[in-house]
Amino acid sequence: MKEKLFIFDTTLRDGEQSPGAGMNTAEKVRIATQLEKLGVDVIEAGFPAASAGDFEAVAAVAKKVTKADITALARANRPDIDRAWKAVCKAARPRIHTFLATSDIHMKYKLNMERNEVLKSAVDAVKYACSFTENVEFSAEDGSRSDPDFLCEIFSAVIDAGAKIVNLPDTVGYAIPKEFGRLVRYVKEHTSNIDKAILSVHCHNDLGLATANTIAAIHAGARQVEVTINGIGERAGNTSLEEVVMIIKTRPSDMPVSTNIRTKRIYSVSRLVSMISGIIVQPNKAVVGANAFAHEAGIHQDGMLKNPMTYEIMRPETIGLSANKLIMGKHSGKHALKKHLMAMGYDLSDAEIKLLFAKFKDLADKKKIVLDDDLEALVNEVVLRTSDTYSLEYLNVSAGTTVLPTASVKLMIEGREVFDTGSGNGPIDAVYNAIAKITGTESKLERFSISALTGGTDAQGEVTVRLSEAGLISIGKGSDPDIITASAYAYVNGLNRLEYLKQNPPRSMRGL
C-alpha cells in the first residue's frame, strides 16, 4: 500500500507574497474554503505577526475551516509564536509553524548568530510552541544551502523538543533535483529520531526546478510537500500543487505515494486564485494553462480524433475542465444558478446569490449565452469584493476619429457620490484620468493588459492592471462585455487593493 503524502498549501501565505497579490480577509476565507474542498491536508493561512490584517485573516480562516490543519507562520521567538497561537487557537486542527535560518550565509549575515545559538533558539521556540499545541512544525530556512550534518543535528534536537514535522526548504531555488534528493535522503538516514516526525520540503522556482526538486524529495523519503495553487509565490514562485498532484496521478507506477486531492476541483480553484490574486495563469502553464489541452498542429489533431491518448496524457475532465460549458441563459432561474455555482465549487449564501443573480440577468441580456468563465468573473466582481473604498456607479465615454476622447465618471466613495470628467489620448485613458481626479490617487499605472474570457464578438473582456504607489504594488482585475467598462472596473479594483495595503502595510518579513 502506498504511503500518504501530506499536501501543505501555502497559497495564502507564501503565495500572497507575490508582488501585488495581497488578499483581504474575505478573499482568504473564500480560497481556504475551496482548498478544504480540494482536499489539502494543511492550509498555511498567513503570518500573523506581519500585520493586523494578516492576523485577522488567519483567525477568520481558522474559525471557518474544520477538516484541514490550519497553521500560522512564526519566527523563532515568543512574541511571534504568541501571535500565531492566538490566531489559530480556535481552529479545529491548529498548527504552529516556526522557522529559523540554518545556512552559514544566513547565520552570519542575517542572524549574526553562531551555530550553537541557532540550535538553542530553535529548540526553545519549538518547546514554547509545544506548550500551546502538540502540532508544531519547524523549518530550517535556506536548508538546501545548509551543512547537512548541522541540518541533521538541529532536526534531531527540535524533534526531541516536540516538533512533529521538520521542513527542509530550498528557500532561494538554488538546488537541482539530483543534489536535493541526495540531501533529503541524507537527512532521513542521519537524523536518529526522524521516525518520530514527518519530513517536509518547500521548494522555490527560481531556476524552474521547484516541481522537479519536490518530486526528487518524495522519492528520497519526504512525506509532506509545501505547494501553492498555480505555483504563485515569492520571486519566481513556489512548487505548483497541480503539477505535483497530477504527476502522482498520471504516473502512479513510478510514485511511492498517494494524496487525498480531489483532482476534479483543481481547475476551479486555479481560476479562483487567479481572479483573487490578479495573477494571470500563463497560457502554456502545465495542467491549468489555457493551452494545456489545446492542439493546433495538424498531425496532433489527426491523432486526437483517432485516439485522445495519442497526444493527451491527462483528460481535461480529470482536473474539472469540461469542453461543454454552455449551461446558463437569460431564462435560467435563481435556483438553477445557485445549483450550478455549487457544482463549480462556489457555496454562496442566499444574500450573495440574490446579489449575483441581478448581475447575471444583466449579463444574460447582453450575451446570448453565459459560460462558466463568465460566471466566475461575476463571482469575482460581485461577491469577492468586500469593503471597497471606491465603487463604479456610472460611466459615459465619447470618442472617435474626430473627437477628443472624454469620459464622465461617477464613483461611490464611502457612501457619497462623486462625479467628474476627464480627457485623454483614448477612451480608456480618459476614463482613467477621470477616476484619478476623483480619487486623488498618486499611483502609477505600471501595466495594462486585455484578454477575452470566452470566444465570440460578445465575449467578456478581462482587463488586468498593475499599480504602484510609495513602494506598494497592487493588481486590479475587471471584466465586462464592454472593454472600456472592464478597464474602469480593473482600475477601481486596483485602487481598492492599494487602499487595503495602505491600511494593512506588509512588513519586510519573509518566511521560507
Domain assignment of residue 10, yes or no: yes
Please state the rounded mean pLDDT for residues 311-329: 67
Give me the sign of the Cα torsion angle 414, 395, 492, 457. positive
Please state the rounded mean pLDDT for residues 17-42: 88
Looking at the structure, do residues 346 and 491 belong to the same domain, yes or no?
Answer: no
Residue 173: closest CA among 137, 217, 140, 142: 142
Looking at the structure, do residues 14 and 133 belong to the same domain, yes or no?
Answer: yes
Looking at the structure, do residues 336 and 258 belong to the same domain, yes or no?
Answer: no
Percent of the chain with pLDDT over 90: 62
| Residue 360 pLDDT class (50, 70, 90 cuts) | confident
State how many domains the chain has.
4
Domain assignment of residue 418, yes or no: yes
- pLDDT of 76 over the 60 cut: yes
Domain assignment of residue 286, yes or no: no
Write down the pLDDT at residue 283. 84
Please state the rounded mean pLDDT for residues 248-265: 96
pLDDT in tens, 446-495: 999 888 776 666 677 889 899 999 888 888 888 888 999 999 999 998 99
Rounded-to-integer distance, Cα 100 and Cα 324, Å: 49
- pLDDT of 307 over the 70 cut: no
Rounded-to-integer distance, Cα 234 and Cα 236, Å: 6
Residue with cell 485577522: 56
pLDDT in tens, 6-20: 999 999 999 888 766
- pLDDT of 384 over the 70 cut: no
Write down the pLDDT at residue 345. 67
Write down the pLDDT at residue 300. 40
- pLDDT of 290 over the 80 cut: no
Q: Domain span at residue 378?
A: 321-383
- pLDDT of 77 over the 90 cut: yes
| Residue 302 pLDDT class (50, 70, 90 cuts) | very low
Write down the pLDDT at residue 299. 42
- Please give the angle made by the CA atoms of 236, 23 and 266, to the nearest 5 degrees: 65
| Residue 48 pLDDT class (50, 70, 90 cuts) | very high
Write down the pLDDT at residue 462. 84
- pLDDT of 305 over the 90 cut: no
Burial of 362 (0-12, 13-18, 19+ CB in 10 A): exposed
Write down the pLDDT at residue 295. 44
Strands 390-400 and 257-258: unpaired
Percent of the chain with pLDDT over 70: 90
Please state the rounded mean pLDDT for residues 422-447: 95
Residue type, 23: M
Give the DSSP letter string of 256-272.
SEE----GGGHHHHHHH
Domain assignment of residue 346, yes or no: yes
pTM: 0.84
Looking at the structure, do residues 125 and 152 belong to the same domain, yes or no?
Answer: yes
Write down the pLDDT at residue 455. 66
What stretch of H or E contains 199?
strand 198-203
Rounded-to-integer distance, Cα 285 and Cα 368, Å: 31
Please state the rounded mean pLDDT for residues 276-285: 86
- pLDDT of 327 over the 60 cut: no
Looking at the structure, do residues 180 and 204 belong to the same domain, yes or no?
Answer: yes
Looking at the structure, do residues 359 and 492 belong to the same domain, yes or no?
Answer: no
Pick the most confident of 188-192, 293-297, 345-349, 400-404: 188-192
Least confident segment among 41-45, 88-92, 125-129, 309-313: 309-313
Give the DSSP letter string of 446-505.
EEEEEEESSSSTTPPEEEEEEEEETTEEEEEEEEESSHHHHHHHHHHHHHHHHHHHHHSP
Looking at the structure, do residues 316 and 341 belong to the same domain, yes or no?
Answer: no
Looking at the structure, do residues 450 and 345 belong to the same domain, yes or no?
Answer: no
Write down the pLDDT at residue 314. 81
- Please give the angle made by the CA atoms of 94, 133 and 154, to the nearest 5 degrees: 105
Write down the pLDDT at residue 337. 84
Residue 223: closest CA among 261, 259, 170: 259
| Residue 189 pLDDT class (50, 70, 90 cuts) | very high
- Phi, then psi, of 352 in degrees rounded to 5: -65, -40
- pLDDT of 230 over the 90 cut: yes
- pLDDT of 298 over the 70 cut: no
Burial of 115 (0-12, 13-18, 19+ CB in 10 A): middle
Residue type, 174: Y
Least confident segment among 117-131, 147-161, 396-410: 396-410
- pLDDT of 418 over the 90 cut: yes
Looking at the structure, do residues 141 and 257 belong to the same domain, yes or no?
Answer: yes
Looking at the structure, do residues 424 and 328 belong to the same domain, yes or no?
Answer: no
Write down the pLDDT at residue 114. 97
Please state the rounded mean pLDDT for residues 53-80: 97
Residue 420 in contact with residue 409, Cβ under 8 Å? yes
Residue 490 in contact with residue 40, Cβ under 8 Å? no
Looking at the structure, do residues 90 and 183 belong to the same domain, yes or no?
Answer: yes
- Phi, then psi, of 431 in degrees rounded to 5: -60, -45
Rounded-to-integer distance, Cα 391 and Cα 122, Å: 47
- pLDDT of 129 over the 50 cut: yes
Looking at the structure, do residues 327 and 443 belong to the same domain, yes or no?
Answer: no
Domain assignment of residue 429, yes or no: yes
Rounded-to-integer distance, Cα 224 and Cα 209, Å: 18
Please state the rounded mean pLDDT for residues 434-444: 95
- pLDDT of 319 over the 90 cut: no
Contacts of 454 by beta carbon, 8 Å cutoff, 6+ apart: 371, 373, 374, 460
Domain assignment of residue 509, yes or no: no
The per-residue pLDDT of the chain, averaged, comes to: 89
